[in-house]
Amino acid sequence: MKNILLKKGQEIQSKLCEISDFIYHNPELGNEEYKAVEKLTSFLEEHNFEIEKEFLGIETAFRATCDSKKEGPTIGYLCEYDALPEIGHGCGHNMIGTMSAGAGIILSKVLDKVGGKIIVYGTPAEETNGAKVIFAEQGVFDELEAAMMVHPSDKTMESGTSMALYPLQFTYKGKTAHAASCPQEGINALNSVIQLFNGIDALRQHVTTDVRMHGIITNGGVAANIVPNEAVAQFYFRAANKETLDDLLVKVKKIAEGAALMTGSTLEMTRYELPNDNLKTNKNLSKNFNKNLRESGITDINEPKDAGSSDIGNVSHKTATIHPYIGIANCSVTCHSVKMADSTITSFAHERLLIGTLALAYTGYDVLTNKVDLKG
């Protein structure tokens, strides 16, 4: 049966390259990916997928279904297609969306024979306000036996872990005054932000090595001769798992409150973006994917890398999930760079585009035919 999948893959290879290159040439920021969505959904529709656009009321989200109407597992392929400001597809999401849609299409060609259902999800804004978080919160992934996607990189790597992340904004409010003639009348909100940074830096001594705390000041006042009556900082807090992160946040919030007390300013804390859970890779699904990748011609599969955070983490707490990396460059290329974006349209990347798509389709086939113990 996998020979049939290979043949179907070869039949759509030029279309896959065309779509991935089109998205590369038309980079769109998160939640504005109109052209990419149009391209991917038309492709899926041509191959008889039923399309729901503006899924969950999110303009650039979609859900595309192919149902055999026969007993069997439901497989989810996750598309990403958002770009980065100024550097375009420096994270290679043009390839992610294409591989996931392509895998769904290839697998759909044998679905009638094996039963089950394939769902391709369009999940916008991975780089900022990852829609997978909302999908997970709304129970969308509860319909799946397994969810998968492949991320381009300079090296091929097994699916590993990613960190839980919580974005927190601190807004301090004080009182303006002339900074030289009557400073005693002012309440300096910026001083609270500075104490917040100092307090967080002191906390670094007392956290586990997995913890990451990094922030910026987005408002530090308007002029040096005015006591700042408002100052704002945004932070990302990360840890290997949600439990550690929750404990950390309790301490951080006390520091933030202390910084308000020190100046007499008031404090408001808000979650300014969606949080991510840590990624839990399903070991057996990952082994199966690696086997399929080897059979498709990629044998240099490296250990998982220390990843940042991604909304794929939230998916992995709902269903068996993998998020492996496929090498698309012959040399070392940094993620989130123009060089990485340009690497996605080379002939080597085009070869890898088909291999990644096929490995996803083969793995889906193995799940549909119950060859993978997803409890593992």
Q: Is 23 in the site for Zn ion (CB under 5 A)?
A: no
Given the structure tokens 């990189």, which residue do they identify?
153
Lookup: tokens for 262: 């020190």
Residue nearest to Zn ion (CB): 91
Closest distance of CB 126 from Zn ion, Å: 6
Stretch that binds Zn ion, among 43-51, 91-99, 250-258, 343-351 (CB under 5 A): 91-99
Asked whether position 157 contacts Zn ion by CB under 5 A, the answer is no
* Paired residues of 302 in beta bridges: 157
Separation CA 16–CA 39 (nearest Å): 11
- Distance in angstroms (rounded) separating the CA atoms of residues 290 and 298: 9
355 binds Zn ion (CB under 5 A): no
Point out which span in 55-63, 87-95, 243-251, 262-270 binds Zn ion (CB under 5 A): 87-95
Residues in contact with Zn ion, counted by CB under 5 A, come to a total of: 1
Q: Can you tell me the distance from the alpha carbon of 344 to that of 323, in angstroms, rounded to the nearest whole number? A: 18
Beta bridge partners of 76: 119, 147
* Stretch near Zn ion under the rule CB under 5 A, chosen from 88-96, 227-235, 291-299, 364-372: 88-96
Six token digits for residue 160: 């590993």
8 Å CB contact between 232 and 169:
yes
Residue with tokens 């919030």: 253
How long a stretch of residues is the chain? 376
| CB closer to Zn ion, 28 vs 145 | 28
Closest distance of CB 7 from Zn ion, Å: 30
Beta bridge partners of 231: 172
Q: Which is nearer to Zn ion, 85 or 297 (CB)?
A: 85
Q: Could you say whether residue 99 binds Zn ion (CB under 5 A)?
A: no
Q: Please give the Cα distance from 151 to 155 (Å, whole number).
A: 10
What is the chain's percent helix, strand, coil content, to nearest 5?
45, 20, 35
Nearer of residues 242 and 323 to Zn ion, judged by Cβ? 323
345 binds Zn ion (CB under 5 A): no
What is the per-residue binding string for Zn ion in 37-76, x denoting contact by CB under 5 A? Answer: ----------------------------------------
For Zn ion, give the closer residue by CB, 108 or 153: 153
DSSP state of 301: P
By the rule CB under 5 A, 91 interacts with Zn ion: yes
Q: How far is the CB of 167 from Zn ion (least distance, A)?
A: 15
Which stretches of the chain bind Zn ion, using CB under 5 A? 91
